[in-house]
């Protein structure tokens, strides 16, 4: 029997209300579509291909998907010249996050198409259902709050 089922059985036997049991037994998930702070992009988060215990994400939409010439935006700031022609929509954006407790993931990286750099990052699901996305370079850290995209 799984740990979640044992927990659920024990709580039901102790008379905890069914709604509370569901909230306690259901693991928090960040899988799905998220709108970045400022709304510049929508990111789809799911399990990484070939690494079921990790989370990855791709940019699936941009608020302004085209450049000033009307063509789809490209990854022109990428430090790797071979990747500068790839489309921003569809490209990997977050990689390698692993669970670090209830509603938290660490060990991942986020790529910034604005400067072509990749940053060590963390994810934390907030009580209000938003997602805190934080990244650091040396000792300087920044955070954003993402919201779930409307279905």
> Quick one: 22 and 35 in the same domain?
no
Number of domains in the chain: 2
Stated pTM of the model: 0.78
24 & 60 share domain: no
**111 plus 43 within the same structural domain:** yes
What phi and psi, each to the nearest 5 degrees, are found at residue 13? -65, -30
Alpha carbons within 13 A on the beta-carbon side of 95: 10
Do 36 and 7 sit in the same domain of this protein?
no
Instruction: Provide the token pair at 41.
Output: 């992009």
Domain limits for position 9: 1-28
> Is-contact 95 45, C-beta < 8 A?
no
Instruction: Summarize pLDDT for 20-66 with one digit per residue, the tens.
Output: 333 333 346 899 999 999 999 999 999 999 988 899 999 999 999 99
If asked whether residues 99 and 76 sit together in one domain, one would say: yes
**Which tokens is 26 given?**
């259901």
The string of pLDDT tens digits covering residues 86-128 is 999 999 999 999 999 999 999 999 999 999 999 999 999 999 9
Backbone torsions φ then ψ of 84, nearest 5 degrees: -70, -15
């Amino acid at each position: 029997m799984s740990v979640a089922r044992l927990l659920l059985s024990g709580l039901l036997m102790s008379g905890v209300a069914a709604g509370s049991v569901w909230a306690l037994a259901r693991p928090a998930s960040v899988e799905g579509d998220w709108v970045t702070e400022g709304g510049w992009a929508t990111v789809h988060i799911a399990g990484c291909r070939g690494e079921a215990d990790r989370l990855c994400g791709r940019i699936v939409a941009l608020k302004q998907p085209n450049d000033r010439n009307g063509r789809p935006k490209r990854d022109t700031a990428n430090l790797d010249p071979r990747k500068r022609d790839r489309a921003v929509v569809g490209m990997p954006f977050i990689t390698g996050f692993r669970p670090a407790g209830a509603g938290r993931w660490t060990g991942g990286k986020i790529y910034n198409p604005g400067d072509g750099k990749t940053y060590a990052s963390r994810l934390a699901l907030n009580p209000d259902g938003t997602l805190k996305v934080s990244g650091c370079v040396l000792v300087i850290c920044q955070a954003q709050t993402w919201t779930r995209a409307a279905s």
